[in-house]
Structure 1
Amino acid sequence: MLNVAPACKESIIMTSLSPQQVSTADDIVGVQYGQFRIMDEDGAAGIPDNSPPQDPSTYDDWMQSTPNFALVRSSFDSHVMGVRFELWDGPPPEPEFSAAATKVLVWTGKFYASSGRVRTMELVDPRADPHTFDLGRRETVWQLRVVLSRLVDEDWEEDEDWEEDENWEESSPATADGLEEVLLQFWAPSAEE
């Protein structure tokens, strides 16, 4: 008779040590002037007085993070982007990219959230009811991975007239699943991070 208990026990132990996804939510955000924001619900009021000055040399050309705010630049001037929020109990595995992705940008860094409740936000005319994603902890410096996936070919060009149509969100290829999508993965840093 075969004894398989040790292998099963090892598998259970290894599984319990792997980082687990705690929660997830999907949303959309309007990209305006080629960018959108990630913002803690407290906004500028929640930035600690002792925050170090921002160092522009740490900014990427498409992603910038400051306390309670981050700015993400898009490849396109104006469209509606699909957003996925994920909260993990440790560093998540490397993301699997959509087969439709023609270009992928990945940024990993720190994001301070004073209220622990974050959302995406348009630059101008923000939505009245943005989805708020609860990270579950206040006043925490989170690790954040931002994965921006372009879903159209490099030679795709915006039609200058489509934005002028009052129903441009419905009539153009620039819908939540059309041009780009973004994945926002948050996890609390470990003691050595």
Structure 2
Amino acid sequence: MGYNAFGLQESDDADLAVPFPDDFDYDTFLSTHPGRLDITSGGHTHTAAVTVEVWDGPPPEQDPANWDEQAEADFESTSGQVVVWSMSLGRADDVITLADSGGAWQVRVSCAGRAEAAALSDGEGTGTGVERYLVQFWPAGS
């Protein structure tokens, strides 16, 4: 995590009109651009735990009491493959396969540990796994 932000976007970002991190909205927990999801963090610089799940239909609702933030959005993938992007590290190596080809998706992002990550950033500066994300994708209309 760098600069309170990370994103998920198409694995091949060459055709994206607005690649990460251009036009990042720091005032919104989850915001979208074509082929891209932007997520704000509670902490400036740290290593967050990010779990990505791909479902055949809507996943069970997450108990809001377990999360500091939750948001849902529409996501259109042209390739069916996305990767995590960081402002400080760039593109991650691991490819997340949503499907064999492109399509429309729903996504829910849940986050816990935001205050702890912010306090860490204000104190010693970095840490690992204090802030946790669950990112759930499922086909739109399912």
Look up the match of 2:90: 126
- Partners in 1 of 2:74 and 2:2 — Cα distance? 24
Give yes or no for contact 1:46–1:68 (8 Å, CA) kept in 2.
yes
Look up the match of 1:104: 68
Please report how far the alpha carbon of residue 89 of structure 1 lies from its aligned counterpart in structure 2 after TM superposition.
Answer: 0.8
- Partners in 1 of 2:76 and 2:118 — Cα distance? 37
Rg larger in structure? 1
- Partners in 2 of 1:155 and 1:125 — Cα distance? 20
Look up the match of 1:143: 106
Please report how far the alpha carbon of residue 81 of structure 1 lies from its aligned counterpart in structure 2 after TM superposition.
Answer: 0.5
Q: What is the total number of aligned residue pairs between the two structures?
A: 135
Distance 1:39 1:86, change over 3 A: same
Question: TM-score, normalised on structure 2?
Answer: 0.79
Amino acid at match of 2:95: T
Please report how far the alpha carbon of residue 60 of structure 1 lies from its aligned counterpart in structure 2 after TM superposition.
Answer: 7.0
2:15 to 25, 30, 45: 45
Look up the match of 2:20: none
Distance 1:40 1:155, change over 3 A: closer
Give yes or no for contact 1:143–1:186 (8 Å, CA) kept in 2.
yes
Look up the match of 2:57: 90
Amino acid at match of 1:37: G
Distance 1:131 1:92, change over 3 A: same
Look up the match of 1:64: 31
Deviations 1:65-117 (A, max 9, x none): 1111111000111110011010111100012579xx6x521111101111111
Deviations 1:132-183 (A, max 9, x none): 11111422110000111116559835355x44xxxxxxxx5x10x22x1111
- Partners in 2 of 1:46 and 1:75 — Cα distance? 27
**Seq. identity, %:** 26
Amino acid at match of 1:182: Y
Give yes or no for contact 1:46–1:114 (8 Å, CA) kept in 2.
no
Give yes or no for contact 2:46–2:117 (8 Å, CA) kept in 1.
no
Amino acid at match of 1:187: W
- Partners in 1 of 2:60 and 2:85 — Cα distance? 27
CA RMSD of aligned residues (A): 2.9
- Higher strand fraction (1 or 2): 2
Please report how far the alpha carbon of residue 125 of structure 1 lies from its aligned counterpart in structure 2 after TM superposition.
Answer: 3.2
Helix, strand or coil: the match of 2:90?
coil
Q: Which runs of 5+ in 2 are unaligned?
A: 18-24
Look up the match of 1:36: 6
Please report how far the alpha carbon of residue 62 of structure 1 lies from its aligned counterpart in structure 2 after TM superposition.
Answer: 1.4
Q: Extract structure 1 runs of 4+ deviating beyond 4 A.
A: 151-155
